[in-house]
Amino acid sequence: MKLRAFAPGIYPRSEGLVQATRDLDRGRTTESAVAEQLESDFRELVSVQEQAGLDLFSDGMLGWQDLFRPLAEAAEGLDARPLTRFLDTNTFYRAVLVDGEPHLRAPLPPPDLPAGRWLGTLPSPYAFARAADGRVSAQAVAADVLAKQIEAWGEAGCALIVLSEPFLAREGDAGEAIRALEELPDGVPLALQLVFGDASSLLDELADAPLVAVGVDFYLTPADAIPEDYPKEILAGVVDSRSSALEDAPEIARFAEQLQQRNPAGISLVPNGDLQFV
């Protein structure tokens, strides 16, 4: 079984980009200067991924403040305002306020990455609904916001879209989450990444979901929780994005061999969550 490797999610911003955005907020620089810094950071991140031999390339979502805000700001009926702690981390996101029927006005543009080699990340429908405190259903978010975005990225050559799901493995309704996934288009492969949680109780139900892969945090999920001959690819979260300690490459290789014995449909090595938390 051939292993793949890539890094979905939001990447940490450089000190230069953080300072540039702060200066813009305070009127000390221009939007063009920030865009130039953003482009420089993006190109450096792509270069690092190329040098590392990753199979798919991410843009690092360097222009995303959090997982929900850009989509909420691009949609009618939604807004992103109250700061809310993200799980048990020291980071925050702006919770989504609902003031009408949600509808994506225009899809967010794709990154300048090679068609067939780029990796996109979006919030899962269930996570988006949770960020809105349940004031909009996961199915409505899927059909009226995420579907249009996924279609646009698929047409632009996206190879895989990872749907980040930080809430379901902690507490949630797998049936509701799967019903929402069924509202999404199938023009681009979709993966559901269960961020920072034990995926053990969800894997059987997700085996029949309209997904090509399921992301598992193996710092909180035992390897033997993966059913033998699992029909989905496993995005194996083997890099702990909540710790700055470097992982041991031979240890990861041994774990991958152990995971291969479970014989899932495929294995890709990924962080267990967004690298911005490091």
**153-193: per-residue pLDDT in tens?**
999 999 999 999 999 998 878 999 999 999 999 999 999 99
Using the structure block, give the residue that is written with the tokens 């632009």. 156
Closest listed residue to residue 10, CA positions, set 153, 120, 145: 120
pTM for the complete prediction? Answer: 0.95
**What pLDDT was estimated at residue 89?**
76
Mean pLDDT within 23-34: 90
277 versus 222: the higher-pLDDT residue is 222
Condensed to tens digits (0 to 9), the pLDDT of residues 203-243 reads 999 999 999 999 999 999 999 999 999 999 999 999 999 88
Closest listed residue to residue 265, CA positions, set 189, 172, 185, 198: 189
* Cα 152 from Cα 118, distance rounded (Å): 14
Condensed to tens digits (0 to 9), the pLDDT of residues 134-145 reads 999 999 999 999
C-alpha torsion 264→269→273→277, nearest 10: 160
Helix (H), strand (E), coil (C) string for the chain: CCEEECCCCCCCCCHHHHHHHHHHHCCCCCHHHHHHHHHHHHHHHHHHHHHHCCCCEECCCCCCCCCCHHHHHCEEEEEEEEEEECCCCCCEEEEEEEEEEEEECCCCCCCCCCCCCEEEEEECHHHHHHHCCCCCCHHHHHHHHHHHHHHHHHHCCEEEEEEEECCCCCCCCHHHHHHHHCCCCCCCCEEEEECCCCCCCCHHHHCCCCCCEEEEECCCCCHHHCCCCCCCEEEEEEECCCCCCCCCHHHHHHHHHHHHCCCCCEEEEEECCCHHHC
Mean pLDDT within 55-61: 97
Q: Angle 277-241-21 (CA atoms, 0-180°, nearest 5)?
A: 30
**Longest alpha-carbon distance in the chain:** 58
**What pLDDT was estimated at residue 28?**
92
**What pLDDT was estimated at residue 85?**
82
Length of the chain as a residue count: 278
**What pLDDT was estimated at residue 264?**
98
* Cα 271 from Cα 6, distance rounded (Å): 8
Is 40 within 8 Å of 20 (Cβ atoms)? Answer: no
Does the pLDDT value for residue 41 go beyond 80?
yes
**What pLDDT was estimated at residue 220?**
96
**What pLDDT was estimated at residue 16?**
92
Condensed to tens digits (0 to 9), the pLDDT of residues 82-130 reads 788 887 777 778 889 999 999 999 999 999 999 999 999 999 999 999 9
Using the structure block, give the residue that is written with the tokens 């991410």. 58
Does the pLDDT value for residue 278 go beyond 80?
no
